Structure 1
Amino acid sequence: MSDRTKKIQAQQREMPEPYEGNRPIPWLVIIIVAALFVFAVAYMWATYQNSPASYGDRRTVADFAVAESSVTGVVDGAQLYASQCLACHQATGLGLPGVFPPLAGSDWVTGKAALAVQIVLHGISGDLTVKGEHYNGMMPAFKDKLNDSEVAAVLSHIRTSFGNAAGEVDVATVKAQRAATAARTQPWNGDAELQVMK
């Protein structure tokens, strides 16, 4: 038996060379993928909503407007609370333990009206003690977001809700407090700065 014949026989005993990697993608798979792609594009085109992404729940700008009585011009503090404060301080005013402080029974809320106004206007950062519990978060400033009437309305709502009986805040107080700290650009530094204002 020649060497050539022995090599051929040896090759025949071995496993054949793999060929799966060189096979083309089956047409059925290509057709299915193409059909899914066309369906996805058609679906997105058919369900396109011409609204900003921020309106994901289909609300419009009008839904965020603060209600005012056409006769009295009084701002609805409850609606303002729902749109600006509820996410952190919750519908009950109890906040989230360890994360967002409660407004119910808080001496920061029921104390001096001027102090509550300053907190809403400039916000808070750093360590703050509320009802014996420490919070170290960040409350945003609302001085550029809410006007004097709106600050007075939301504070009046908070100070007379959730079991609080501190009384309402008038627009004149807000206006005076805003003017007194008009140059302030930073939030209040929690207990360190606010304790002296109690």
Structure 2
Amino acid sequence: MKTELPQHDAQERENADPHEQGRPVPKLVLLVVTAVFAWAIGYIFTTQRDDDPALGDRRTMSTLMGKTADAGGGGAVDGAQIYGAQCVACHQATGAGLPGVFPPLAASEWVTGKDTLAANIVLHGITGKLTVKGSAYNGQMPAFKDKLSDAEVAAVLSHIRSQFGNSAPKVSPDTVKAAREEGKERKDPWNGDDELEKLK
């Protein structure tokens, strides 16, 4: 025989202990999810896939694939874009560089001097002490001969030589090609002032 314990007033005032139980998803939520799913399927099957290409942004396939003029893409190489991708981190967007760390390109005698000198610097890079506008910099510039084509080197040099207050003539891909051919045996970067002074 089961004996029931007497209930006290305190127990009667307490709510039942929480417990897990199956709670169905509200019908309104199910209805909304089903409606959205049905609309998505209908949209996929009713959308036109033959829209007029003239409504697009008019970029060519060579532009989308990043082909440049020297790679047979037919477009011009953008020196400003190359500068933004390869040079701006050190020389800054203004071409002023970072004092005591990275030399400026603005009014730099190395930039506005002979086009073959500028081409050699970009192709092979620099290490050691380099004097720019009377200030000495002792850092390192990477070589771009394996990263950039002749047309790309020419484009970025032409951009630099015409920006930041500079007004030097453009550099042609043929000039870069000749500099590359002349220095094809060179493995090390230029040793700053010591070697580059001879190329001025």
- Scaled by the length of structure 1, the TM-score of the pair is 0.65
Structure 2 residue aligned with 1:81: 83
Q: Which residue of 148, 151, 167 corresponds with 2:150?
A: 148
Gaps of 5+ in 1: 1-64
1:172 partner letter: D
Contact 1:67 1:79 in 2 (8 A): no
- Equivalences for residues 1-198 of structure 1 within 5 A: 68=68, 72-198=74-200
Moved over 2 A (4+): 65-73
TM-fit CA distance, 1:135? 0.2
Gaps of 5+ in 2: 1-64
Q: State the distance in 1 between where 2:184 and 2:112 align.
A: 24
Structure 2 residue aligned with 1:34: none
Q: State the distance in 1 between where 2:197 and 2:132 align.
A: 11
Q: Secondary structure at the match of 1:98?
A: coil
Q: State the distance in 2 between where 1:112 and 1:148 align.
A: 17
Q: State the distance in 1 between where 2:80 and 2:172 align.
A: 16
Q: Report % sequence identity.
A: 65
1:40-94 Cα offsets, whole Å, 9 max, x none, are: xxxxxxxxxxxxxxxxxxxxxxxxx867479852100000000000000000000
Structure 2 residue aligned with 1:39: none
Q: State the distance in 1 between where 2:122 and 2:102 align.
A: 15
2:102 partner letter: F
- Scaled by the length of structure 2, the TM-score of the pair is 0.64
Q: State the distance in 2 between where 1:164 and 1:90 align.
A: 15
Contact 2:67 2:75 in 1 (8 A): no
Residue 81 to residue 66, structure 1, CA distance change in 2 (3 Å): farther
Q: State the distance in 1 between where 2:73 and 2:151 align.
A: 15
